[in-house]
A and B are shown apart, each in its own frame.
Chain A
């Protein structure tokens, strides 16, 4: 039981430390008027809003979803208990024990590691570095031709011919799509299929669209297994790279990960390390796909 408790608490604290490292800059979900606001007293010692803010970060993952006032209350209870028990432990001389010192040393090492790495990584991975990586990657994305198409599907060839005749008299494509298309999805959008990359739709429609100029529609029905299609090309372009804002967080994360690894191996190369047990790789986990 004691061992189990120790393990659980250790996990909780490990999680908490990991959270501290990653969220120092993104404080704080709970808004408190004043850090010095006193929320409880234990044997004459005060528990303040600043203590609560730390507790919230520490225990965030275990708290899950709950109303703010309940969260506040649960956390203050936890702080009260923490203070009562830690005071008792101090009084009992626990801080002189080796077991205590070993754990503290471990947590200190872990905290030092995360604070140190976070600062070093943050100074290396600047906004400019993220932008430069984006520009480089955006330049490497292969060119994909895409076409904004409108589409009407008809069951019979002569129906498709009728639609083409109507288009030739100047009737708007969207209107005809709405009235005549058997495709009730694109019908709702006036036949608009949005931008379709080359090679990503029915081959017959793709080939017909490739022969059109913007504003043109197919002069003959396009036959497929599904019926007869009338296709209009609205616009043609090379697919734009995803906007900076949408992929900057992933790029930053990747750069930070790489930088962290670089720092670690740099420091490691100057350290004298003797691992006295054999290297054993954990078993591979598979996700079933052949990547």
Chain B
């Protein structure tokens, strides 16, 4: 209880500094799309009629489910066809998730998504084992990241703070669980199926095409 109060307190505090207008109501699409602490990781056309923002954590099982089972079809149906611009944002719930997000950022732009994908797929092998660091290191070996780079990446305090700032911004928009999606600004909590997404997105696409 106490810890939760601290967290809520902190996010409200951060919100008060960075997003004074957002505390009360649902954020507007413009506010949601304002530049954050890290470069945006987005898929699809900037001119797409629908924008989906995902806040997810690499250690969260539901987020893995979305990424492995729904995202590939979603991408094919909506992103590759220019109907949806999809943005992935970091919302780590624990130090391991932060570490995973940092490692993906350290892998470089060309390997960022492949690293995120590998870490989601291999989640059982590093997120819930006793020696998380060793497991993450061994997993990152598959990407060719060597031990020195692995260690320097995880010691990058500035990067850690940037990842945390992305999550803090998410909290100020009302995100408190993962995955959380914003579909043209409308908040949807939980891992939606492709059908559930279609129900929300199809009318918006039709509207946008008129």
Contacts and interface: CB of A to CB of B under 8 A. Distances in A.
Interface of A: 151, 153, 155, 182-187, 193, 197, 199-203, 205, 224-227, 285-286, 288-291
B142 interface: yes
B178 interface: yes
B121 A151 contact: no
A227 B122 contact: no
Ranked 8 nearest A-B pairs via Cβ:
A185-B141, A225-B114, A290-B177, A183-B141, A226-B143, A182-B144, A185-B138, A184-B146
Given A199-B68, A203-B117, A226-B114, A286 B4 contact: yes
Given A185-B147, A285-B4, A200 B140 contact: no
Contacts of A185: 137-138, 140-141, 147
A203 B142 CA distance: 12
A151 B138 CA distance: 12
A226 B142 contact: yes
Identify whether the interface residues of B are mostly helix, strand, loop, or mixed: helix
A201 B122 contact: yes
B40 to A, nearest CB: 19
Most central of B4, B121, B146, B190 by chain A CB within 10 Å: B121
A183 B4 CA distance: 41
A290 B178 contact: yes
Interface of B: 1, 4, 7, 60, 62, 68, 93, 110-111, 113-115, 117-118, 121-125, 137-138, 140-144, 146-147, 176-179, 189-191
A290 B181 CA distance: 13
Given A153-B141, A153-B142, A202-B142, 16 more contacts: A182-B146, A193-B138, A193-B142, A199-B68, A200-B121, A200-B123, A200-B124, A202-B114, A203-B117, A227-B144, A288-B7, A288-B177, A289-B93, A289-B178, A290-B62, A291-B62
15 contacts: A184-B141, A185-B141, A186-B141, A187-B141, A202-B114, A203-B121, A225-B110, A227-B144, A286-B4, A288-B7, A289-B60, A290-B60, A290-B62, A290-B177, A290-B191
A81 to B, nearest CB: 33
A288 B111 contact: no
Nearest to B179: A290
B176 A186 contact: no
B93 A288 contact: yes
Contacts of B7: 288
A287 to B, nearest CB: 8
Contacts of A199: 68, 121
Contacts of A205: 142
A284 to B, nearest CB: 10
Contacts, number: 79
A185 B144 CA distance: 9
B83 to A, nearest CB: 25
A185 to B, nearest CB: 3
Contact of A184 (B68, B115, B147): B147
A153 B124 contact: no
B141 A202 contact: no
Nearest to B138: A185
A285 B1 contact: yes
A151 B178 contact: no
A49 B198 CA distance: 73
A155 B144 contact: yes
B111 A226 contact: yes
B63 to A, nearest CB: 9
A255 to B, nearest CB: 24
Contact of A289 (B117, B142, B147, B177): B177
B44 to A, nearest CB: 19
B117 to A, nearest CB: 7
A151 B142 CA distance: 8
B174 to A, nearest CB: 13
A224 B115 CA distance: 11
Most central of A184, A224, A286 by chain B CB within 10 Å: A184
A186 B125 contact: no
A201 B139 CA distance: 9
B35 to A, nearest CB: 26
Nearest to B189: A290
Contacts of B179: 290
A128 to B, nearest CB: 31
A289 B143 CA distance: 29
Contacts of B177: 286, 288-290
Contacts of A202: 114, 117-118, 121, 142
